[in-house]
Structure 1
Amino acid sequence: MITLKNVTLRRSAKVLLNGVNATINPGENVGLVGRNGAGKSSLFALLNGSLHEDGGDFYIPTQWRMAQVAQNMPETDESATDFVVAGDTRLTELRAALVRAEAEDDGMAIAHAYTDLADAGDHDAVPRAQALILGLGFKVSELDKPVNSFSGGWRMRLQLARALMCPSDLLLLDEPTNHLDLDALVWLEAWLKRYEGTMIVISHDREFLDAVTNVTMHIDNAQLTRYGGNYSKFEDLRAQQLELQQASFAKQQEKIAHLKKFIDRFKAKASKAKQAQSRVKALDRMEKIAPVLADADFTFEFKEPTNLPNPMLAISDAAFGYRAEDGSETAILHNVSRSVLAGQRIGILGANGQGKSTLVKTIARTMAPLAGTVTEGKGLSIGYFAQQELDVLRPHENPLEHMIRLAKELGPQSRESSREQDLRSYLGTFNFTGDMVKQSVGSMSGGEKARLVLAMIVWQRPNLLLLDEPTNHLDLATREALSMALNEFEGTVMLVSHDRALLRAVCDEFWMVGRGAVGPFDGDLDDYQRYLLDEAKRQRELAKLEAAADSAALKAAGAAPQAAAATTAAAPEVTPVLIADSARPEIATGQNDPKKSGDGRDQRKQDAQARQLLAQKLRPLKRELEQIDQRMAALNAECSTLHERLTQPLPPAEIADSGRRLKACTDEIATLEERWLELSEEIEAQTAAL
């Protein structure tokens, strides 16, 4: 177990932990919580050995293997798969040992190396690594792409996969959800629930902590307090604890006042001097209960919009995507026909890479639609928080300079005072007080930068808020403040977020972005999580079928005979070593028997022919499956358009025509779904029969 006994921990002159005692038992999943700057990451540094205690005793079992997400951005030309496989440090060491043994021609060492590699899971290392990569949102086509070809956020996902790949007794995760979409987050939760070691996680995602932790440790006022249960249980227990502390403090203050009154009244009387002196000593010996000094909650509010156009905007038969510099177009979303009304609270859902950010960017005017029209209501004012919004801030400027520039850009239309003192006061409402208004943005934390962006958005008095992952750098208190502010906002909200607590608190309807279409999602977040898990299972099954077919085609092209010839040629050199290797009996038996060797080649040839035949049979089935997927996407888009059309006043003939077309689309979708299931079952059955 991990123990801290009277541990003191400092960073420069600041005391982060002061004489704390704590125990973490093997197999516990611990959530480490506290305000930003309380010392959570410093405690991680103590656990991983990069920081040492300034006082007290700290113990962690020396035999424990530790894994954590590296914070540096990887710079390598390795493929994504190889990079993650290298995260298994034990496997890497054993492979290096095998190379050394082979270089020294040490037969016994080679035999031991092969045995150790088998025990370490060398045979399935690549599939395990690829399962982690795909689970975190990558595509099959990206498994062999070099790490350097990915953006920063995707490289950090690879760092997370690399940490999960490493066999460990202690897993340290510092904000693992920051770069994840909701689909990857759901997968990560499921993976961590199966983790058998001890896990300590820092996160500002309430639902994530509730799902994966069973112990909570809270850092507050340089003290570390342990609570049994997840984050929600911790909140209940802490509230009860603070209430009890305040009641005990009030009761003690009454007792102290009574003693002081007696002392003041009788200390001068000789007959009562002994009793008075006794009460003085009792007062000195009394262990004082501290009053509850709760941190001031951070709150803010969006100002009332100057007008509320209705509808806010209308999208008609639009295509959204990207235009390259050479003029070529890549459409991601097709046939988008949706309207956004005043006062709506829309959560935008969809698996990674399906086009959520593309939709939001197009509405925010940072991208133009490739086709169709986006009609804005008169007086539409958009407040846009982009995922990369923090990069837009000027690092060498301070918050006050940002606000002065914004006030000048908006001019009289902002209807707010642009005097420096008023801007200082305004920044103070976002916790930029004193000298912080003159602190360079580049030296600020991610949470402070996010608060500055929110302050700039609120100043603009928008009537439509487009928020793309606004909580990535916000602590729990600021997330709660954002949730309250959005609920009181009188305009319209469109929100993309992996923070399910925020989505549940703010949104009352959801749009689904997927398979090239945008439509309503009929369900809640629990339904969506089940959908994500089912979709992930379907994608894995399709990937397996494609891999089996590709492998069969490759072997049919002659890979198997070449491998057989290579094995035969190498047999005289490795036989003396491998006969002694009990872990590989298949190599030590029959390899010098021509009859058995011939039978093996015949069998491999038959297997290759069978796989080639299977690939030929599956090809038309897979082609039909792909056509059905494309047709269903088009039909779903048409259904959404027809639903939207039927909500508008139309002539009776058009209503009847739209109704007939809607029924025809619905019937065709039902037929296609049945055919899709039939094809999937047939592909699975034929693959299993091989």
Structure 2
Amino acid sequence: MIRATGITLRRGTKVLLDDTDFVVNPGERVGIVGKNGAGKSTLFALLKGELDTDAGTLDLPAAWRIAAVEQDISTPERPAREFVIDGDTGLRRLQAERAATPDSEGTRIAELEAALIEADAWSAPSRAEQLLAGLGFTPDQWLNPVRSFSGGWQMRLALARALMAPSDLLLLDEPTNHLDLDAMLWLERWLAAYDGTVILISHDTEFLDAVARAILHFDHGKLVRYKGGYEDFLTQRAERMRQTLLAHDRQARETARLQSFIDRFKAKATKAKQAQSRVKALARMEKLAPLQADSGIDIRLPEPDSMPDPLLILEHLSTGYPGADGQPAAVLQDINLMVRGGARIGILGVNGAGKSTLIKTLAEELAPIAGERRASKGLKIGYFAQQQLDMLDADSTPLQHLARLAPELREQEQRNYLGSFGFSGDMVNQKIAPLSGGEKARLALALVVWQKPNLLLLDEPSNHLDVDTREALATALAEYEGSVLLVSHDRHLLRTTVDEFWIVADGQVNAFDGDLEDYRDWLNQRTANQRALARNDAMRDAGDGEAIIDRKTQRRLDAEARQRLAGLRKPLLKQVEGLEKKMAQARARLDALNALIADPDFYSDERRDERVAALAEHGETTKALAQLEEEWLEAQEALEAIEQPAD
């Protein structure tokens, strides 16, 4: 096991851990959580032996092999598959020695051949290809040099290389930052089958909850251990804080705000399964109220001054970038969609499908190639790009940034606004350069929303944000009265923020009639279709007969999968919608009857007949509501039982 005893860690003059103990048992999956700058990555450096403790001891089993994702790629010319296999350094060492051993040394050759068999040398290429496929690389990319991939895809290669290495301890620092949902789900399955110990840093709470079985939380210089996954951590920590929290007034205000939040979305939710997941998420937010109070981050997005409807109309719009010949090359074609006032839309699609291209076009950062983008006269866009952090002036302070946008505002008002985004006290006068990625992201978001936009275009806004800030952002976006288009791989943020989805695939953008679980099923179906096409292409290339499936049918197969799903779901959705209306009416009547029954005058002799009738109605309405709730639950179970075939 890993055992820390009385360890102290400092970064400069800042104490990250102060005389703290913790234990990680063999085979455990442990999540590390804490605010940006708390010391999570420093702890990983300690576990990897890259630095020493300032005090105390850290004991790791001497025989344990440690694997971690390398941040610097030193061999960019290597083919991708070979780069991944290089992660198994023991295998590469054996292969090098075998190649250098002369044929005359028969005994040593036999020993090396046995060792290579033991190291699964002959299956190494196929194992590497499985990792590459799982992380989204197509077969025609497996032998491309590492340098030919973008930075995000190079980090996927580095992750595959770490997974390739035989290990007893796997250290993963934000492994999902560059993954789309498909690759993220694959990684969850891979980690579930991994035999060793996993220590994981992640700000993606759903991923963390799916993988971790224990949580170590950076809390005022200590590492506090919680049993279970991330949701269990929230429950346990919230309970601890409720017992010690003195700020009762703030918690009461937060509870009232959350209740208003829940009531608003109960009224607005239009899709049963999304409504169900939204209510669950909001119930979770009630549990988070004291945690958010402790975080000191309470993001409030300014309300827009006006809300035209519709805001944007796209008609036969095509968009893309200049090709090698200088002529425009379309990435997305013939888009026909509308952004309504108050719309909350999540943009889904695998990496490289064109999600950012779509957002840039909506934001007028990219001109359409064809078609029309018609904007309302009152449209006011707030655009948070993936590279938004690069637009900050590293030599300026948060206060100077805001002063440039709002020179007429008094300094105290500027400070108050920045304080709501976690910049308080002396932080507003610190230069941007040394801030963490999460702190820069918070500032960038604060500057984007200052202008009171009525349409927020957010491209991965939660990258670099710690868990507390992600929760605050989810709350702020859910309460925001304007329209939101959100690109994110953070499933919790999507669940709590959006009401509908657009899907970007195969050069098209279409409304998606489903939720994140349906999207996962759609991805599985799409993967199965692609594999079938690949098999048939291989048959054609090998001359083994004509292909069964023509590549031109790909879009038709995907469309049929979506239509089949919608056909199964729509009758149930209609049933649930009707039940929810009846349940709301029954609850309203019960509230009225409860108010009547609570009135002392109700029990006077003069009102005996009224009392008998009201109490009888109360009993009947309670029974009817219970029956409606039972039918609602059955309908929800029927919805969740609908699954797409795997092939």
Q: State if a TM-score over 0.5 links the two structures.
A: yes
Q: Give 1:5 deviation, angstroms.
A: 2.0
Counterpart residue type for residue 41 of structure 1: S
- Map 1:361-440; keep pairs closer than 5 Å: 361-407=360-406, 417-440=408-431
Tell which deviates more after alignment, 11-20 or 165-174: 11-20
Counterpart residue type for residue 17 of structure 2: L
Contact 2:295–2:468 (CA<8 Å) still a contact in 1? no
Gaps of 5+ in 1: 248-291, 409-416, 553-611, 639-676, 682-690
Separation of aligned partners in 2, 1:239 and 1:119: 49
Q: Are 1:499 and 2:490 counterparts?
A: yes
Counterpart residue type for residue 508 of structure 2: A
Q: 2:553 matched to which residue of 1?
A: 628
Separation of aligned partners in 2, 1:142 and 1:299: 44
Q: 1:482 matched to which residue of 2?
A: 473
Separation of aligned partners in 2, 1:544 and 1:193: 28
Separation of aligned partners in 2, 1:146 and 1:293: 45
- Map 1:339-378; keep pairs closer than 5 Å: 339-378=338-377
TM-score, normalising length: structure 1: 0.71
Q: Give 1:637 deviation, angstroms.
A: 12
- Off by >6 Å, runs of 4+ in structure 1: 632-638
SS in 2 for 1:368: coil
Q: Deviations over 1:488-526 (max 9, x none)?
A: 111100111110001000111111111222212121111
Change (3 A) 1:110 1:541: farther
Q: 1:618 matched to which residue of 2?
A: 546
Q: Give 1:479 deviation, angstroms.
A: 0.7
Q: 1:243 matched to which residue of 2?
A: 242
SS in 2 for 1:87: coil
Change (3 A) 1:56 1:139: same
SS in 1 for 2:433: helix
Q: 1:182 matched to which residue of 2?
A: 181
Change (3 A) 1:432 1:238: closer
Q: Give 1:367 deviation, angstroms.
A: 0.8
Change (3 A) 1:309 1:635: farther
Contact 2:304–2:453 (CA<8 Å) still a contact in 1? yes
Q: 1:452 matched to which residue of 2?
A: 443
Identity %: 50
Q: 2:333 matched to which residue of 1?
A: 334
Change (3 A) 1:121 1:427: same
Counterpart residue type for residue 546 of structure 2: L
Change (3 A) 1:20 1:635: closer
Change (3 A) 1:96 1:335: same
Q: Deviations over 1:184-215 (max 9, x none)?
A: 21111111111110000011111001101111
Q: Give 1:441 deviation, angstroms.
A: 2.0
Separation of aligned partners in 2, 1:389 and 1:42: 26
SS in 2 for 1:460: coil
Q: Give 1:428 deviation, angstroms.
A: 2.9
- Map 1:500-579; keep pairs closer than 5 Å: 500-547=491-538, 550=541, 552=542
Contact 2:300–2:420 (CA<8 Å) still a contact in 1? no
Q: Are 1:130 and 2:55 counterparts?
A: no
Separation of aligned partners in 1, 2:173 and 2:514: 32
Q: 1:464 matched to which residue of 2?
A: 455
Name the count of aligned residue pairs. 523
Q: Give 1:344 deviation, angstroms.
A: 0.7
Contact 2:296–2:422 (CA<8 Å) still a contact in 1? no
Q: Give 1:139 deviation, angstroms.
A: 2.7
Counterpart residue type for residue 50 of structure 1: E
Q: 2:99 matched to which residue of 1?
A: 99
Q: 1:15 matched to which residue of 2?
A: 15
Contact 1:362–1:368 (CA<8 Å) still a contact in 2? yes
Tell which deviates more after alignment, 318-327 or 40-49: 318-327
Q: Give 1:419 deviation, angstroms.
A: 4.7
Change (3 A) 1:77 1:204: same
Separation of aligned partners in 2, 1:461 and 1:232: 34
Change (3 A) 1:636 1:65: closer
Separation of aligned partners in 1, 2:445 and 2:411: 19
Change (3 A) 1:299 1:467: same
Contact 1:517–1:636 (CA<8 Å) still a contact in 2? no
Q: Give 1:539 deviation, angstroms.
A: 3.0
Contact 2:292–2:472 (CA<8 Å) still a contact in 1? no
Q: 1:43 matched to which residue of 2?
A: 43
Separation of aligned partners in 1, 2:91 and 2:327: 45
Counterpart residue type for residue 427 of structure 1: L
Separation of aligned partners in 2, 1:238 and 1:531: 36
Separation of aligned partners in 2, 1:465 and 1:86: 43
Separation of aligned partners in 2, 1:242 and 1:636: 47
Q: Give 1:166 deviation, angstroms.
A: 0.7
Q: Deviations over 1:625-651 (max 9, x none)?
A: 11222566899999xxxxxxxxxxxxx
- Map 1:643-682; keep pairs closer than 5 Å: none
Separation of aligned partners in 1, 2:100 and 2:509: 56
Counterpart residue type for residue 186 of structure 1: L
- Map 1:133-212; keep pairs closer than 5 Å: 133-212=132-211
Counterpart residue type for residue 454 of structure 1: L
Change (3 A) 1:105 1:384: farther
Q: Are 1:233 and 2:232 counterparts?
A: yes
Contact 1:177–1:185 (CA<8 Å) still a contact in 2? yes
Change (3 A) 1:631 1:548: closer
Change (3 A) 1:293 1:145: closer
Change (3 A) 1:296 1:84: closer
Counterpart residue type for residue 460 of structure 1: Q
